[in-house]
Structure 1
Amino acid sequence: MFCIVAAGRQRAGERRRRARAAWRGALALAALVALGARGAAGGCGVAEFACRSGACVRLDAYCDGEAQCADGSDEPAQCSVCNRTYYGRVGVAYAVAVRSAPRAPFLCHLTFTAGGGAHGDLVQLAFDEFHVGRYEPGALDGCPDGYMQLSELGRPFTGGSWCGEADGAALYYSETATVTVSVKLFRARLGESFGFRLRYKFLAQRDAVVR
């Protein structure tokens, strides 16, 4: 009889210890989840640049020539807007520009990605200024010094190069969520200007209308 009671008490004590261990584990998991939620909520969004201080500014504020972060971390020395991926929120207009004459050969990729939901489904580009190389009808592709090309993720490249000079807005609407602007300069000629400026915006699929 004693052995049965002792065994029963031992099993009951073991169940209580397991229950306490499970409760402590649940509390630890809840604490980790809460910590992760605070970290996600306290971080910058995909369309924002995280300053060294922890503050958040617009993603296109990086290397735009004017410090937006109080600590100046969005304007580091020798920064470049090239070879970066840009996101944004639906309906908000952003801008990016390359104005300094680069050393040839020069290659710059600007990728614009609509992240879905509040970050859009399609991309709108508006080219305000364009000075890349020169147009020469007798040359191969007409652009002996360099050119700009557009490509979309998941779609075959259909060719087409732009070079020379143009002013005034020229609009481009993507058919997919990602479009890349590639600027290539093979050689820079003395006295020739170089640079381009474009605005970009992300659109919701429901607002896209074929005209």
Structure 2
Amino acid sequence: MADTKLRTSRMHLLFVLPLVLEVQSISKSHNFTYDCTCHLELKISNCTSSNFTHLPAALPPFTEQLDLSLNHLSAIRPQAFHSTPRLRILLLNDNMIAMLANGAFSLLEGLLRLDLSRNRISFLSEGFSRGLGSLRDLSLAENRLSSLDSSCFVHFDALQRLNLSHNAIETIKMRAFGSMSTLRQLQLNSNNLTVLKNGIFSMLRNL
């Protein structure tokens, strides 16, 4: 009788052990960064004020709104947001970003709002706007931009609001706003502009 109970106990243990291991394995695969608060139903990942110096390695792929404001990020690498392709809102304000790589946002084809205000950005490359054809709201306020090239905004086909205030912009190249026929609001206050070429805003018919 005792022998039968022992065999039953062992069988029960053998059944439970794989179940425990499986649960632990599942838990690990969903172990997103502890410095972010992720809301599954709201599709929001809040990573603000987390002292990040690099983008978090593990973020839920369902994320549509990502708040990385008030961290210590200094650079955004190419295709940096490959793990969160569904993003609609991306907040990167109040960091120390000085470098935006070509194609940094190229996988975010559904992004609607991008906030890069209060960083250290002094230059926008030709590939800055690549993949951002759906973007409607962009803030680059309070950075260190000194000029706007004719190609840095070329892919902004749907942009409606652009904030470039409080930079050090001295020159704007012709056709810098050439692709922005949908733009409704443009802020250029508090820059170093003295002369603007005729026709520089000719494509901005909705302002």
| Larger RCO, structure (CA 8 Å, separation 6 or more) | 1
* TM-score relative to the length of structure 2: 0.34
Q: Which structure's residues are more often helix, by fraction? A: 1
Query: Which structure's residues are more often strand, by fraction?
Result: 1
The TM-score, its normalising length taken from structure 1, stands at 0.34
Bigger Rg, structure 1 or 2: 1
